[in-house]
Amino acid sequence: MNIAQYIDHTILNADATQSDIRKVCEEAKEYGFYSVCVNSSHVDFVAKQLKGSNVKIAVVVGFPLGAASIETKGFETKDAVSKGANEIDMVINIGALKSRNENFVQKDIAAVVKAAGKDVIVKVIIETALLNDEEKILACKIAKAAGAHYVKTSTGFSTGGATVEDIKLMRETVGPNIGVKASGGIRDFQKAKAMIDAGATRLGASASVNIAKGIESEDNGY
């Protein structure tokens, strides 16, 4: 298993410096990670760092709360794509989902899919730690109906991250033709492989080098 090709090497913390982001880009090229995942303000810089490589650029939208307006998410998506983003990881409007405003949630996702264009992958972060199983299933069904390419567990900035149980539930809900991304709290090879075995087709991680090296983390918490 070439686990590196499952990984979106991620740096989303607010205090990330240009030097930090450059290091992440260099690691992505060295280890062959699938993409580098950053906030939208860094797209130009990352595009320059990754020029000539096979590493993709993933950009988060509506991050981390998902509570921006539909129009704002659409604009952020267009801007990121125009600057080189190959993939968009958007956060759903969690409050709207929990209010059962299914039409709004679908419009929110569909607006990002439309703004991204036909050649850009859209992943929908449903923030599983804030949802019960019924809400997780509903979110996955809405994302699929809206034309998203992936459903994703977590931002990594909430109360919990990816679990094997959630990956199994999400995979069962969306079926075999939609991607499932496990993100949040994945710090070693063993946990990463467990997510893939459960049905994940992509992983979001900042501990990507440890995962690629097969290092086992001593930290069992989120």
Model confidence over 122-176: pLDDT tens digits? 999 999 999 999 999 999 999 999 999 999 999 999 999 999 999 999 999 999 9
Domain count, the chain: 1
The confidence score (pLDDT) of residue 54 equals: 98
In a domain, 22, yes or no: yes
Give the dihedral of Cα atoms 46, 36, 122, 52; nearest 10 deg.
60
Say if CB 190 and CB 197 are below 8 A apart: no
Work out the average pLDDT over 60-79: 98
Residue 5 Cα distances to 34, 126, 201, 208, angstroms: 5, 23, 10, 11
In a domain, 168, yes or no: yes
Mean pLDDT of the chain: 96
Bond prior to 64 in cis (omega within 30° of 0): yes
Give per-residue pLDDT as tens, 82-111.
Answer: 999 999 999 999 999 999 999 999 999 999
Give the dihedral of Cα atoms 192, 201, 62, 49; nearest 10 deg.
80
Tell whether the model's pLDDT for residue 6 goes beyond 80.
Answer: yes
In a domain, 218, yes or no: no
In a domain, 160, yes or no: yes
Handedness of CA 64, 65, 70, 75 (dihedral sign): negative
The confidence score (pLDDT) of residue 222 equals: 38
Q: How far apart (Å, rounded) are the C-alpha atoms in residues 141 and 104?
A: 14
| 216 confidence band (pLDDT: 50, 70, 90) | low
| 215 confidence band (pLDDT: 50, 70, 90) | confident
Cβ contacts of 14 within 8 Å, gap of 6 or more:
none
Phi and psi based region of residue 185 (left: phi greater than 0; alpha: psi -120 to 50; beta: remaining): left
Work out the average pLDDT over 60-89: 98
| 217 confidence band (pLDDT: 50, 70, 90) | low
| 57 confidence band (pLDDT: 50, 70, 90) | very high
CA-angle at 119, arms to 114 and 123, nearest 5°: 65
Cβ contacts of 129 within 8 Å, gap of 6 or more:
154, 158, 159, 160, 161, 184
The confidence score (pLDDT) of residue 220 equals: 42
In a domain, 221, yes or no: no
Domain span at 96: 3-213
Catalytic residues: 89, 152, 181
In a domain, 39, yes or no: yes
Tell whether the model's pLDDT for residue 218 goes beyond 60.
Answer: no
In a domain, 119, yes or no: yes
In a domain, 219, yes or no: no
User: Percent of the chain scored above 70 by pLDDT?
Assistant: 97
Q: How far apart (Å, rounded) are the C-alpha atoms in residues 219 and 171?
A: 27
Give how far the C-alpha of residue 184 lies from the chain's centroid of Cα atoms, to the nearest Å.
Answer: 9
The CATH number of the domain holding residue 125 is 3.20.20.70
